[in-house]
Amino acid sequence: MSEPAQLPLAARVARLYGQPFIEIPQDLYIPPDALEVILEAFEGPLDLLLYLIRRENLDILDIPMAPLTRQYLEYVEAMRATNLELAAEYLVMAAMLIEIKSRLLLPRPPAAEPLEDDPRAELVRRLLEYERMKQAAQRLDLLPQLGRDVLAVSVWVERTVLERLPEVNPQDLAEAWRTLLHRARMSAHHRVSREELSVREHMSGVLRRLRERRVLEFGELFDPARGVAMLVVTLLAVLELARETLIEITQSENFAPIYVKLAHGESH
């Protein structure tokens, strides 16, 4: 549908990147709006030169330097006029073209080899190599690319072994208790007096704290600084409360924190 079949023959000169490129033949007419688009499509001076050569269907091995240089310079001038950022490479190429053109004007020694002495040889070599790589790039781009055109297939593999459900683990409770005991020993002082310790009293104390805080971590119930005896009593109080289902002791999984909260229905 974008093919220029409807256009008059004379207007169809070339296709630029898939779009029909309409020009007045023999002259360099560029629609002003199109210029920016066209110039941005070039990958550099070699690309622009190739375009000019191919558009005019010039013989790349026998480039007519005068018209090519003229057209190239007109493009470069147009780029400058539209304030497009002009890469230095374009100017270097312009200088090179002019140099080649002027060298061609010099009289040539009659016995000279036609191509080896040709000032255009190096330019032609570069143009051919660039064009080869440009085409190679296009073909490379046509290859199916992983992530763009194809995706690696990988089925889901269930790798995790059946997970054991968290259990009420007395071992953890004992471990937590041992830790507390240990810390209590570390901070133990020689106490001369002995506090009167009542399990029931501590049961109330625990319940009271739970009413304030709703949920407490197991360790928070204990104050190791107050000595081993106090810890023992508090533990007994907690266990007794649990036995009487006044509190709930929960642990979401192994080695997770143990939480203590008021049992449902406990409303004081």
Site of interaction with another protein (CB under 8 A): 3-5, 9, 12, 14-18, 21, 43-47, 51, 54-64, 67, 87, 89, 93, 126, 128-155, 157
Q: Give me the helix-helix angle, 121-142 and 88-105, nearest 10°.
A: 140
Structure tokens given for 10 = 């004379």
For residue 120, count other CB atoms closer than 10 A to its CB: 21
Contact 201, 184 (CB under 8 A): no
Q: Toward another protein, which CB reaches closer, 25 or 109?
A: 25
Q: Rank residues 10 and 111 by Cβ distance to another protein and give the closer one.
A: 10
- What's the closest the beta carbon of residue 15 comes to another protein, in angstroms? 4
- CB of 164 vs another protein, minimal distance in Å: 25
The CB-of-123 to another protein minimum distance in angstroms stands at 10
DSSP secondary-structure letter at 4? G
Task: Tell me how far apart the alpha carbons of residues 12 and 234 are, in angstroms, rounded to a whole number.
Answer: 97
Cα separations in angstroms, 81 against 32, 35, 73, 177, 219: 11, 11, 12, 85, 80
Taking the complex as a whole, the smallest distance from the CB of residue 132 to another protein amounts, in Å, to: 5
State the nearest-atom distance from the C-beta of 154 to another protein, in Å: 4
Nearer to another protein, 145 or 198 (CB): 145
State how far the Cα of 36 lies from the Cα of 34, in Å rounded to an integer: 6
Give backbone dihedrals phi and psi of 57, rounded to 5 degrees, phi first.
55, 45
Which CB sits closer to another protein, 4 or 205? Answer: 4
**Is-contact 257 173, C-beta < 8 A?**
no
> What number of other Cβ atoms are within 10 A of residue 45's Cβ?
23
- The Cβ of residue 34 has, within 10 Å, a number of other Cβ atoms equal to 14
Q: Which is nearer to another protein, 51 or 218 (CB)?
A: 51
Shortest distance (Å) from residue 163 CB to another protein = 21
Cβ atoms 77, 164 nearer than 8 A: no
Rg (C-alpha) for the chain, rounded Å, is 45
| Residue 73 CB, nearest approach to another protein (Å) | 17
Q: Which one, 54 or 185, has the nearer CB to another protein?
A: 54
DSSP 146: B
Q: Which is nearer to another protein, 118 or 172 (CB)?
A: 118
